[in-house]
Amino acid sequence: MVDSTEIVTVDVELDVNGVRLATRSMAPDSGAETSVTLVFLHEGLGSMETWRRLPEELVRATGLPALLYDRRGYGRSDPLDEPWGRDYLHRYALDELPGVLGACNVQRPLLVGHSDGGTIALLYAARFPTVGVVAEAAHVFVEEAARAGIRRTIEAWRGGDLKPRLERIHGDKTAQIFRSWSDTWLAPWFDSWNVEHELAAIDCPVLLLQGDRDEYATPQHLEIIARGVGAPSRGVLLEGCGHAPHLQSRRPVFNEILGFIAGLGEAKTGRMERWRSRSPH
């Protein structure tokens, strides 16, 4: 079934804690009231654009509004003013994200995060009230698989088309954000980074998605996160899928997220039965 609902999209630049951040809101042009907002948190080299069609498809299917934004250093937001530290994910999760939600008057977030964004979603949910978390390819400790994948990505940066592709997203901030990401994860001082102990504090439902061919993680990483979460969780290992499930296993991921949202009693909007019969256009 193709949904013809009109989606109203608004791009706004916000001042959050003195930093200019690019944001995008999406909402169905239906006038329906809901207190829950889908909040999308992009990957470590991505931006709100790298979600592609998923946010709009979920807005159409669920009737929930969505918020996307470029974290500091990314996309159309301000550049970084200092190198990342060992706590960079905590700073994004506990300082920047609450500021964005407050500025956008998002009171009940349902977080959807990819890679770094998935980790940020988990860290936020361990500290703040959250309706639910969908975490794709999140990391909670440093695996050699992640570092091996980053070394391969550095080779692609040096000799392939990765740099020009990222420049289309980040412009003149591209080299800075790439070095911040790769240098941090490969640094000896990042060896002991581990947030497994924080997962037990999460008290909202969690959907965990990971590809069985993820270039930056082993399947065991998914199992460890699922066991550590202190609330009901579902871990899904997607066959034949790499590090970007929402792009590489698009329909299964959409259906998993849709089913997860439909199962959240607090996210009801009066259209629950319709959610199960809709598919993205």
Domains identified in the chain and CATH numbers: 7-275 (3.40.50.1820)
Report d(CA 156, CA 164) in Å as an integer: 11
Binned at pLDDT 50, 70 and 90, residue 265 comes out as low
143-168: average pLDDT: 94
If you search the block for the tokens 């909202």, which residue do you land on?
204
pLDDT of 110 above 60: yes
Around Cβ 81, how many Cβ atoms within 10 Å? 8
Tokens of 153: 């990505």
CB 201 within 8 A of CB 127: yes
Among residues of the chain, what percentage have pLDDT more than 90?
87
- Give me the pLDDT at residue 123, please: 98
Of 65, 56, 69, which Cα lies nearest the Cα of 14?
A: 69
Binned at pLDDT 50, 70 and 90, residue 274 comes out as very low
Binned at pLDDT 50, 70 and 90, residue 114 comes out as very high
275-281: average pLDDT: 31
Binned at pLDDT 50, 70 and 90, residue 32 comes out as low
The more confidently predicted of residues 280 and 81 is: 81
Tokens of 41: 């948190």
pLDDT of 277 above 60: no
E strand or H helix at 226, and its extent? Answer: helix 219-228
- Give me the pLDDT at residue 174, please: 97
pLDDT of 272 above 80: no
CA 195 vs. chain centroid, Å, equals 17
User: What sign results for the dihedral spanned by CA atoms 67, 133, 246, 161?
Assistant: positive
Of 159, 157, 148, 147, which Cα lies nearest the Cα of 178?
A: 157
- Asked whether the whole model's pTM tops 0.85, one would answer yes
